[in-house]
Amino acid sequence: MKFFIDTANLDQIREAQSLGVLDGVTTNPSLMAKEGITGQNNIIQHYIDICEIVDGDVSAEVIAVDFDGMVKEGNNLASLHPQIVVKIPMIEDGIKALKYFSDNGIKTNCTLVFSSGQALLAAKAGASYVSPFIGRLDDNSTDGLNLIEEIRLVYDNYAYQTEILAASVRHTMHIVNCAKIGADVMTGPLSAIKGLLNHPLTDIGLAKFLSDHKKGN
Ligand code: G3P
């Protein structure tokens, strides 16, 4: 499973990249705003900065919600750097835009996906990635992991090439369960990625190894 980090924070992106297990970055307008990145020029420069830190795909989201606007904005974003993936919302014009970009060889990430029907449409439109938001479903008393399972089944039935990018991942067990179910990618915060390191028996075992080594020397 690929690991993407879901942030626009450059320090956290650098830290994740330095671990050597990072495959890409996802951002969205809320994450950009959280870092105080506002104004078109700053936003564009920030995407370029992120691409220069990581080796993999970097999702950059369009703000337009009409087909012409999404095509114009998406083409501009895609021209910034070869690693840019154009992030398109799951709306009617978004489906048309996904098809346009797919026909023109530009990678896309279909965002704000909350049902397997939406995921099926995104795959038919040729999306490179589909982003089901599992944490936000959990927030609404609906099991987000069930949706990943359903989409996996649907995509496998027809060998769709669209990669399932589990988004809105909040904690380590989301990551582990996504891996068990067969999500192609997960995007989550640095805390969830680093949380995978933790086990008290590892800490206890290491302390014992080091103290025994000291005794023997
Ligand atoms: O980037 C999309 C998604 O991962 C957002 O997550 O935590 O705001 O629901 P969250």
What pLDDT, on the 0 to 100 scale, is given for residue 217? 79
User: Domain containing 190: what range?
Assistant: 2-216
Kindly report the protein residue whose alpha carbon is nearest to atom 6 of ligand 1.
168
What pLDDT, on the 0 to 100 scale, is given for residue 65? 98
pLDDT under 70: residue ranges of the chain:
none
> Which helix (DSSP H) or strand (DSSP E) does residue 212 occupy?
helix 200-215
Can you tell me the distance from the alpha carbon of 107 to that of 60, in angstroms, rounded to the nearest whole number? 11
Q: Which atom of ligand 1 has the smallest separation from the CA of 131?
A: 2
Can you tell me the distance from the alpha carbon of 217 to that of 196, in angstroms, rounded to the nearest whole number? 33
Q: Domain total for the chain?
A: 1
The DSSP 8-state label assigned to residue 56 in this structure reads S
- Global pTM value: 0.96
| SS3 of residue 81 by DSSP | coil
What pLDDT, on the 0 to 100 scale, is given for residue 216? 82
CATH number, domain with residue 146: 3.20.20.70
Measure CA of the first residue to CA of the last residue in the chain; give whole Å.
42
Kindly report the protein residue whose alpha carbon is nearest to atom 4 of ligand 1.
168
What pLDDT, on the 0 to 100 scale, is given for residue 19? 97
What pLDDT, on the 0 to 100 scale, is given for residue 48? 98
Catalytic annotation present for 34: no
The two structure tokens encoding residue 193:
């990625």
**Amino acid code (one letter) for 217:** N
In 3D space, the residue among 204, 165, 172 whose CA is nearest the CA of residue 189 turns out to be 172
Convert the pLDDT of each residue in 149-205 to its tens digit: 999 999 999 999 999 999 999 999 999 999 999 999 999 999 999 999 999 999 999
Kindly report the protein residue whose alpha carbon is nearest to atom 3 of ligand 1.
168
In 3D space, the residue among 6, 3, 2, 1 whose CA is nearest the CA of residue 189 turns out to be 6
Q: Is the CB of 59 under 6 A from ligand 1?
A: no
